[in-house]
Structure 1
């Protein structure tokens, strides 16, 4: 009888432990899902803000109060909240846009400013598409949503590195604004000859 009592007691303790462990695991999974949902929602909101400010920096004249306000907010995101939620590709595109923005903001020559503003538009669009793709990937919707439904200006990373390089040459004085388009087209064509990729026109 004593043995049976011990077995029953041990069985009760074991059942309690198993129930407790299952409860802890379920709680952990629930908390993880809650954290992921909060993180993903926060990421999407920050992405939307970044895309909005980047587009506005192209739309508003450099001399306007609106431009200055959006530049301030973009810089805050770039150095702050975005660093918490961005993936590596978004980080690269944020840096590219910030580089063009700095050159555009500091440009004094109208001819240079006009070229840089055109590139600001390009990189704002690239950034927006990159942010969208990152969000779709985060929510595991790539196969269901991305597919062929959207244009994607974010895929030509090597081309955009060329754009940055040519802009840097112009800013440094190695290349005149008058020769910018010719040199850009030359280097882009050379790149496309090496590795055919999807081409989007400005």
Structure 2
């Protein structure tokens, strides 16, 4: 099912909303996420970006990390391999498992992924399996609060968002899977500026969690 939705037309914005406006290749967002990771870890680390799309975030990391990307879209993986200088990219449905050994990664990232997955709980379980003990999980996903429901109700439907979560819901999923949240903020990107709030008011949320 996922492969049929996330094809070339999706990434080109023909049957999606946010990609149409260049969201996925906004350097502002990727640079902010890179800084979040660099503040939380020291030394060369092995990182997996689930739902890597064209690999823009991994490109933004530079050469400090051993970089891996996973995506369910054949088109996205082909493009990421062409774009990438050093990353390794695999085609897989992360909700049903990841082709890596237990504890293989220091860091796993998921940017705008959980909302596309029927079972975010299964996805988080699989991410945990490939993370080392005390490894980091960085998630960015829509914050299903009143503002989100008001502003993005139609765009969320166009974007095939099937699992919109509140802060409380994703916190429960992470906690039940053995993660401790060590960082949280909500955000909104407007006019090429990244607005950040420690409260739950803005329509996008980012969580940094550690495997316990």
TM-score of the superposed pair, with normalisation by structure 2: 0.22
Higher share of residues assigned helix? 1
Q: Higher strand share goes to which structure?
A: 2
